[in-house]
Amino acid sequence: MLSESVKDCIRALIYLALNQDKEYISVKEIAVKLNLPFFFLAKNIQKLVKEGILDSYRGPKGGITFKKPLNEIRILDIIKSIDGDSLFRKCILGFEECSDDNPCAIHQRWVPEREHLKELFSQSLQDIVNDIKVGKVKNIKL
Amino acid sequence: MLSESVKDCIRALIYLALNQDKEYISVKEIAVKLNLPFFFLAKNIQKLVKEGILDSYRGPKGGITFKKPLNEIRILDIIKSIDGDSLFRKCILGFEECSDDNPCAIHQRWVPEREHLKELFSQSLQDIVNDIKVGKVKNIKL
DNA sequence: TCAATTTAAGATAATTTTATCTTAAATTTT
DNA sequence: AAAATTTAAGATAAAATTATCTTAAATTGA
């Protein structure tokens, strides 16, 4: 469903969102705290920097921080930046051209589900942070 | 979402379901008609034979046929046979242990969606064939 | 029986994804 | 200025997925 890269990045950004007090947080710290492979995470984080979701700063005291407010960063944006948007756009059976007029055998049942998925991932980091901070969800895994 | 193998198999089985008049249909015929790579399809079809979804018969006039009635073969069964059931069972962020008591940050929102997906794929080949034969869906791509 | 056809099984190869490493550049602290 | 820290970029490697091929076994029909 989601690639390893995306999963890592989502976790990293939730961690970052929950620790926004400091100016910059190093990728190293995130990798250690979340037990993620540093080099792999660093490479994927770079993509989010290029996409304009994160800002980065080198040197000691350097690290990454958000470039946008949390409520403007959706899980969907993270997924699109890393994996692309094919999951929310393409035919479930892989047909290049599959539409209402020219549907695959599952099209009419799949399209609403696809929209449903898109909605789910439209939750923002702010939404997630709220769930956690309000205590709606406890013993959260990061 | 779904592997190439699964997509090919679903398409192949829908084709098979729509052409059940003959006793056996060769994998070759399906591969040609659906423009699928023969060797790849043949290998994956073998798994469905082993899973008890299909029967096969060698030699000229040989091929494959269903081992169960169409209403007992769900898309879910095809997916499980080829890709496994992790999509419908595992945590969206990849945590091995993620439950209501010990959830990841997206758990509570993901679980209902996962159930929704499972329901979608619980449609049987018979359901799909009905949609097509009743003319509910036209210009279908196979 | 023999040739043709078709699945069975597994070896091999190509591609993509995931993971790791190396070097460089920027920045801070001493 | 020098040392330490951290991201940047891209090379390299490992693993998983996808694709192809080869040989064998079974079956049919001439």
Q: Quick: pLDDT tens for B7-52.
A: 999 999 999 999 987 789 999 999 999 999 999 999 999 999 999 9
Domains, chain A, in order of start with CATH, read 4-133 (1.10.10.10)
The answer to whether the Cα torsion of A26, A32, A37, A39 is positive or negative is positive
Q: Is the pTM of this model over 0.85?
A: yes
Q: Quick: pLDDT tens for B95-133.
A: 988 999 999 999 999 999 999 999 999 999 999 999 998
Averaged pLDDT of chain A:
93
- A139/B contact by beta carbon, under 8 A: yes
Q: How many angstroms is C1' of C2 away from CA of B60?
A: 15
Q: Which residue is nearest to nucleotide D18 (CA to C1')?
A: B4
Specify the nucleotide whose C1' lies closest to residue A26 (CA).
D6
Q: Quick: pLDDT tens for B46-73.
A: 999 999 999 999 999 999 999 999 999 9
Q: Using CA atoms, how far apart are residues A118 and A88, in angstroms rounded to an integer? A: 6
Chain B residues in contact with A88 (beta carbon < 8 A): none
Candidate from A92, A105, A132 with C-beta closest to B1: A92
Do residues B12 and B30 touch, judged by C-beta distance below 8 A?
Answer: yes
Q: Using CA atoms, how far apart are residues A27 and B90, in angstroms rounded to an integer? A: 27
Query: Residue B112: which residues within 8 A CB-CB, separation 6 or more?
Result: none
